[in-house]
Structure 1
Amino acid sequence: MNAFKDLMAFQSQTEALSQVAGRLGWDQETVMPVGAAQQRGEEMAAMENVLHARRIAPQVADWLAKIEDSTLDLVGQAQMRHIRKSFARTQKVPADLAAEIAKVTSQAQGQWAQARSDKDTGAFVPVLENVVRLKREEGQALASNGDVYDAMIDDYEPDMTAAELAAMFDEMRPRLVNLRSAALEAPSPRALFGHYPEKLQLALSQKLADAFGYDGKHGRIDKAVHPFSSGSGQDVRITTRVSEDDPFNCFYSTIHEVGHACYEQNIDNAYLLTPLGQGVSMGVHESQSRIYENQIGRSQAFTGWLFEQMKSSFDEFDVPDATTFFGTVNRVNKGYIRTEADEVQYNLHVMLRFDLERALMRGDLSVKDLEAAWNDRFEADFGYAVDKPSNGVLQDVHWSVGLFGYFPTYALGNVYAGCLYDALRQDCLNLDAELSVGNTVGATNWLKANLQTHGGLRSPRETIEFASGMAPSPKPFLGYLEAKFGQIYQL
């Protein structure tokens, strides 16, 4: 047992250093001076070199050889499962390649932001070509002659494959397309108009974060171009963004990121700075942000409470009643931006990215042809043309920072959220009454007890099965969408 204790003490320091690296990333996206990008890339590369060396240190190999996992309790066995997998993965990727990826993707983030602002895809093509080259090299090292894209997906959703995701998306797509067509052909709920000052939006955004249980003593809310959550344990930070003619962008970005943050904040403190002390996968993580944002935050009950909050906060708010407001919040309309898409169309945006990045990683699509492929696919899927790069291929930060295999977890998170919400409604009989007065405690405590507190104890599939009582399936999610939007659009 001394080997296990020594390994866990060493691992705790590695986890702490990883959190420091994450804080550098948070700083870069929030308050870092623009001119610091090149140096930050070097700093990130240095941190990655340290982490890479620790993950495959000779003493780690010795401890792993001495430990018999079957002699440990379930928590110990779970810790070992994660550490052994990290050790095996890190051994496959050369240290200089890992450091180069960290440096290049750190610098590419600022280059993407500039190209997006300038609407200049051409300026970003050579940058992305370099990122893709490095990530394919990493993927080939990890895949060991297997599917490169599967190896990338495994970083974000362990034990998931592109083939399984493609089959799931093929099952979902026809029902999503049919529902979208029916909604767009029906009379539309009224849109939201008016001017909503930033200061007032941020005040209500903070109230929403509090309502969903975000612990401000162990976190903070800042602004970023692309909202995100960062950190775990006792320091979990989120960002949001503000558009003064679209307060929903701020409010639902905040609720979404609070879902991520609460998952991290609610993990059992016994797992702090261990492999179990963070969300088990990005798909499961996304299930928390999506169920907070959509099934709870966009429900008729909760939007009734939000309606009253907006009436008291904004002078120009002129929606006449809570029923109308429910339709306004959930309005299905044409648009380009994934993060602003309604629940019906959101997954179609994800499926587009999934197919394109899969082709990129397999070498079936070149970076120089990516924008044309994006534009053709978008027009085929949505029925209208992309008007500018910031509404098309340059809208997301993910590819610039090397997150290939990440996008499909967004749609998978919606599938997981559908399963969880089905079980949540069966167990929380007073859910609507509580949400109608802004009380999310019943819902969030259920998610905490059944999923969040356990961190990485189980595999992603086992995590969802344990919490919801069912194997992951898109059927509950699709049924939820059809019932909700059938009501709003009287289909």
Structure 2
Amino acid sequence: MNSMTAYSALAEHYRDVVALGQVSGLLGWDQETIMPKGSAAQRSEWMSALEKVGHAQRTDPRIAEWLDAASAADLTEEQAANVRLIRRQFERQSKVPSALARQIARVTSQAQGVWAKAREAGDFAAFQDVLSEVLTLRREEAAALAEGGNLYDALLEDYEPGMSEPVLAKLLGGLRDGLVDLRGRVAQSGEQIPDLRGTFSRDQQTMIARELATAFGYDWTRGRLDFSVHPFSSGSFNDVRITTRVSESDPFNCFYSTIHEVGHATYEQGINQDYGLTMLGSGVSMGVHESQSRILENQLGRSRAFTGFLYGRMREVFGDFGVPDAEAFYRVVNKLHRGFIRTEADEVQYNLHVLLRFDLERQLIAGDLEVVDLEAAWNERFEKDFGYPVDMPSNGVLQDVHWSVGLFGYFPTYSLGNIYAGELFAKMSDDLPELQGELAQGNTTSALGWLGQNIHRHGSLYEPRDTITRAVGHVPTAEPLLAYLNQKFGEIYKL
């Protein structure tokens, strides 16, 4: 078999691998949105069976032969990247026994349902046993992948290839000091900003949420909006679905959750169409993915310019809702507030929520913290960081779905995404002097065009940090994000 024939065979084989992964993702979306509650046990068997087929496809012995032969081929940049990503996945998948992969798929599918019930009941003890099982399985998987190396690095590779725990801890640690300082100065400012009050109907919120999704570039011919307990985006390429949630007393929850998930979705929808059913045809990492959702939600969606537009639209739909003008509305949208929920946190305190999870899950994987002690450790850390105690488990250790489905190593990518978003916004602002004027009209065309050109279209062509470095011209740091936050909230709170 010559080298190009080997590459063709490899690419054709991976069309099925990628397609199976997309089917698995669609089943996950269904489980979170419209699957009947009584179907959970059957669904876990489906997921296990699908993982059995997928794992066999991803570890097919022929892949090694094709990779060796294809390496000698005269490949294009895209083909070489496809080979690199296939090799990375093949080598990782080959280290994990099929029986372990199936057991992880089965247990995490079951654990998700147990978590949902425990969260609703506010009973962490009801979740402990299955979480311990998930943790044991993921530790076992990490040990197989690490081959004597850092267990957390082995898991982190699934979400942020090329990143390591020490580098990440240093990067996020530097962010933490600046955020604690800023939050302290805000608390001492004495500046009072009122809360939004009133009742905002579910139907009217949903209507505006759909308008916001359209304004931020969501292609409805390749997606749909549904509701879930925990908003998320699912799918890739030409089938990308989003969810949101509605509280009739807090329309910002719905609106900004929608914008956030649209950020993920427009990234997937904007990938070069030539990359479909290849390893290039999805976002390169969760950190880069999160940068796309956070820049739309925060730097663009919570800007003075865009909130002025949103204020006018809310007045048209809801009438007078007690906020006198657009400037007051901007301050209300960006108010720092007490709260327990990561996804509802303001820009200044959001990353403190993430860092709490990052530190706890590193201890869990290292064996320095056991599940039986997790709730107490969470509550102690939260009160230390935020200054008030957790009131109930659903607002604390049970609020996120991630650990129930085994996503250890995922949480820090949220803060990494914020750091990347800070870099991208600084560069975008330099490149687009008309940006704020357009946002004041609800027009995101230039911003989305800039992101499409510099991030979206590339998919997984480049490594994650290389993707950001190419876009901004230097290795990313936390400095632009901290500068943006200090400038914005310094002005709002007259620091």
> Which TM-score band (shorter chain)?
over 0.9
Aligned length: 491
- Give the whole-Å Cα distance in 1 for the aligned partners of 2:424 and 2:182: 22
Give the drift of 1:472.
1.0
Q: Which amino acid aligns with 2:118?
A: A
Alpha-carbon distance, 1:17 to partner:
1.2
Q: Does 1:263 align with 2:264?
A: no
Show the counterpart of 2:454.
450
CA distance in 1, matches of 2:196, 2:100: 49
Aligned counterpart, 1:117: 120
> SS where residue 399 of structure 1 aligns?
helix
Alignment of 1:459-470 (within 5 A): 459-470=463-474
Write the distance in 1 (CA, Å) between the matches of 2:65 and 2:84: 16
CA contact (8 A) 2:18 2:279 kept: yes
- Write the mapping of 1:187-202 to structure 2, written as runs, cut at 5 A: 187-202=191-206
1:91 and 2:94 aligned: yes
- AA of the residue aligned to 1:62: E
Whether 1:205 aligns to 2:209 is yes
Q: Among the aligned pairs, what percent are the same residue?
A: 57
Give the match for residue 476 of structure 2. Answer: 472
1:220 equivalenced with 2:224 (yes/no): yes
Matched, 1:282 2:289: no
User: Which residue is equivalent to 1:12?
Assistant: 15
> What's the counterpart of residue 388 of structure 2?
384
Give the match's secondary structure for 1:210. Answer: helix
2-structure distance, mates of 1:361, 1:8: 35
Contact 1:356–1:374 (Cα < 8 Å) also in 2: yes
1:338-357 mapped onto 2 (5 Å cutoff): 338-357=342-361
Per the alignment, in what secondary structure is the counterpart of residue 400 of structure 1? helix
- SS in structure 1 of the partner of residue 402 of structure 2: coil
Partner letter of residue 354 of structure 1?
F
Task: For 2:393 and 2:188, locate their aligned partners in 1 and report how far apart those are by CA, in whole Å.
Answer: 28
Q: Is the 8 A contact 2:339 2:345 kept in 1?
A: yes
Tell me if 1:29 matches 2:32.
yes
- In 1, the alpha carbon distance for the partners of 2:472 and 2:73 equals 28
2:144 is matched with 141
- The runs of at least 4 aligned residues of structure 1 exceeding 6 Å deviation read none
CA offset digits 1:381-407 (Å, max 9, x no partner): 111111100011001000000000000
The amino acid that maps onto 1:433 is: G
Query: What is the rounded CA distance, in whole Å, between the counterparts of 2:74 and 2:381 in structure 1?
Result: 53
CA distance in 2, matches of 1:331, 1:432: 21
Deviation at 1:59, TM superposition (A): 2.0
Pick from 103, 107, 111: which aligns with 1:108?
Answer: 111
Deviation at 1:61?
A: 2.0
Matched, 1:154 2:157: yes
Report what 2:254 is aligned to.
Answer: 250
Find the residue that maps to 1:222 and give its secondary structure.
strand
Q: Which residue number corresponds to residue 489 of structure 2? A: 485
Q: What's the CA shift for 1:199?
A: 0.2
Q: CA offset at residue 58 of structure 1? A: 2.1
Query: How far apart, in 2, do the equivalents of 1:411 and 1:477 lie?
Result: 10
Q: Does 1:321 align with 2:325?
A: yes
CA contact (8 A) 2:212 2:259 kept: yes
Tell whether 2:440 aligns with 1:423.
no
The answer to whether residue 302 in structure 2 is matched with residue 309 in structure 1 is no
SS in 2 for 1:231: strand
Whether the aligned pair in 1 keeps the contact of 2:379 and 2:389 (CA below 8 Å) is yes
Q: Is the 8 A contact 1:221 1:238 kept in 2?
A: yes
Say whether 1:129 aligns with 2:132: yes
Partners of 1:226 and 1:274 in 2: CA distance: 29
Q: Secondary structure at the match of 1:189?
A: coil
TM-score by length of 2: 0.98
Whole-angstrom CA distance in 1 between matches of 2:110 and 2:82? 33
What is the rounded CA distance, in whole Å, between the counterparts of 2:188 and 2:33 in structure 1?
41
Q: Contact conserved, 2:142 with 2:151, CA < 8 A, in 1?
A: yes
| 8 Å contact from structure 2 (residues 246, 254) kept in 1 | yes
Quick one: distance in 2 between partners of 1:356 and 1:123? Answer: 20
Paired residues of 1:190 and 1:324 also in contact (CA < 8 A): no
How far residue 166 of structure 1 moved from its aligned partner, in angstroms, is 1.1
User: Counterpart amino acid of 1:244?
Assistant: E
Q: TM-score with structure 1 length normalisation?
A: 0.99
Q: Deviations over 1:238-281 (max 9, x none)?
A: 00000000000000000000000000000000001110000000
Q: CA deviation at 1:319?
A: 0.7
Distance 1:316 1:242 in 2: 20
User: Which of 363, 366, 369 is the equivalent residue of 2:370?
Assistant: 366
Match of 1:233 among 237, 240, 243: 237
Offset at 1:206?
0.2
Please say if residues 228 and 244 of structure 2, whose CA atoms lie closer than 8 Å, have aligned partners that are also in contact. Answer: yes
How many angstroms apart in 1 are the aligned matches of 2:80 and 2:201?
52
| 1:69–1:77 CA contact under 8 A, matched in 2 | no
Q: Which moved more, 1:376-385 or 1:311-320?
A: 311-320
Q: Distance in 2 between matches of 1:470 and 1:444?
A: 21
Paired residue type of 2:272: D
Partner AA of 2:216 in structure 1:
F
Q: Deviations over 1:318-344 (max 9, x none)?
A: 211000000000000111110000000
**In structure 1, what is the Cα distance between the partners aligned to 2:475 and 2:346?**
26
| Helix, strand or coil at the partner of 2:243 | strand
Q: Work out the CA distance in 2 between the residues paired with 1:69 and 1:158.
A: 25
Unpaired runs of at least 5, structure 1 = none
Secondary structure of the residue aligned to 2:196 is coil
CA contact (8 A) 2:234 2:240 kept: yes
Determine helix, strand or coil for the equivalent of 2:183.
Answer: helix
**Secondary structure of the corresponding residue to residue 239 of structure 1:** strand
Compute the displacement of 1:69 (Å).
Answer: 5.2
Q: Distance in 2 between matches of 1:70 and 1:153?
A: 31
Cα distance in 1 between the residues matched to 2:435 and 2:206: 27
Structure 2 stretches lacking a partner, 5+ long: none
Cα displacement string for residues 270-314 of structure 1 (whole angstroms, at most 9, x for unaligned residues): 001110000000000000000000000000000000000110111
Indicate the SS of the match to 2:369.
Answer: coil
Q: Is the 8 A contact 2:172 2:416 kept in 1?
A: no
The answer on whether the counterparts of 1:201 and 1:247 sit within 8 Å (CA) in structure 2 is: yes
Match status 1:50 vs 2:34: no
Moved more, 464-473 or 436-445: 464-473
CA distance in 1, matches of 2:282, 2:237: 8
For 2:73 and 2:153, locate their aligned partners in 1 and report how far apart those are by CA, in whole Å: 29
Paired with 2:71 and 2:54, the residues of 1 have a C-alpha distance of 25
Kindly indicate whether residue 335 of structure 2 is the aligned counterpart of residue 331 of structure 1.
Answer: yes
